[in-house]
Amino acid sequence: MLAALVLVAGCTSADPGPGPDRRSGCGPITFDDVRGTPPTYLEKDELDRFPNDHAVCAGVWLRTGHGFVPQGVAVAGRSAFVSGFDGNAPLHERYCLVERYDVRTGELLDRLDPVAGQVGDRDPLTCRHGGGLVRDSHGLWLVETSRLWLIDPETLDVEHVWALGPPLRGSFSLTDDRGRLGIGRWYPTRPAQVDWFDTDEIVASGVLDITPEMSSGHTDAPRSTQGGVWAALAGQPAGAWFAQSVTRCGVLGGPEGTRRRAFVPGAEGMDLVGSRSLWVVSEAGTRHYQDLGGRPVVPQLLRLDVSDLRAWRRPQCRV
């Protein structure tokens, strides 16, 4: 039986974010502040510190005791949608799943597991990995390496599936201030790229394959980018901010010329609510990586207050 999860609200401000509890200021939060039953696989009842963790206002354990590895997050009203996969499954069976939570209570409201469908009249297929998740007026857009999925946020039914034509690669995603969907490519040793698409055109086109020719432009991204968000942060004009991470460290970088900041270890997808509440999922504290040893204990879902981002410390690690 799944235990209900309850979010800790943190920052006292005009935009405190959802949650029934209040703390004096934000973080760093403690192990006892993280709601939900602590995972049984953890070897200690203490969170690991990381630079700029003073900004962490809330933490929640997701699917405690399971192999769930979160990859994307989208927050709308009282709902938080989280995509990911079962990291303990064999490599060829790490199918996508999407879960919806009530952010005020932490209750798990719905789940799509696995995400399955078909591109037109082609063979039925199952989504793998589930690298990024965003929401717009059409619904939830889930990207994986070679496909793009549109999911109804109310029912979690799969509405449509498209194939991604090479060299497009669905590793992470974000939306910009023009409402375009950015499909990001992840590369470990060379710069990444975000290709921008008009979702109205995708839905109306009737095509089965999304091709580079349909893109309205691209944005360069750093290597090892795991997640992105379009935002006006640290006094900078609105632009793409990227999370680079491995499970031992994280880096947040913005538009060209922006100073990089230390960030959540294992950071993946991000979503900004209002002007200061940044939701982030991390894979560092998942069973899959904790069992490997040496990874910091970090909640899988965090909310950070980014109002003082300009003063955040630089990274102390390299990604």
Q: What is the mean pLDDT of residues 93-118?
A: 88
Beta 139-144 vs 132-136: how paired, if at all? antiparallel
Per the prediction, the chain carries an average pLDDT of 89
Predicted TM-score (pTM) of this structure: 0.90
Give the pLDDT score at 57: 93
State residue 207 phi and psi, 5-degree precision: -80, 160
The pLDDT confidence band at residue 188, using thresholds 50, 70 and 90, is confident
Give the pLDDT score at 6: 34
Q: Let me know if domain 31-118+130-311 sits in CATH 3.30.70.
A: no
Give the pLDDT score at 213: 97
Q: What is the mean pLDDT of residues 290-314?
A: 95
Instruction: Look up residue 289 and give its amino acid.
Output: Y
For residues 17 and 68, the answer to whether their CB atoms sit within 8 Å is no
State yes or no: cis peptide before 20, omega within 30 of 0: no
The pLDDT confidence band at residue 142, using thresholds 50, 70 and 90, is very high
Q: pLDDT per residue over 261-294, tens digit each?
A: 999 999 999 999 999 999 999 999 999 999 999 9
- C-beta neighbour count of 311 within 10 angstroms: 9
| Residue 152, both tokens | 């109804």
53 pLDDT higher than 50 = yes
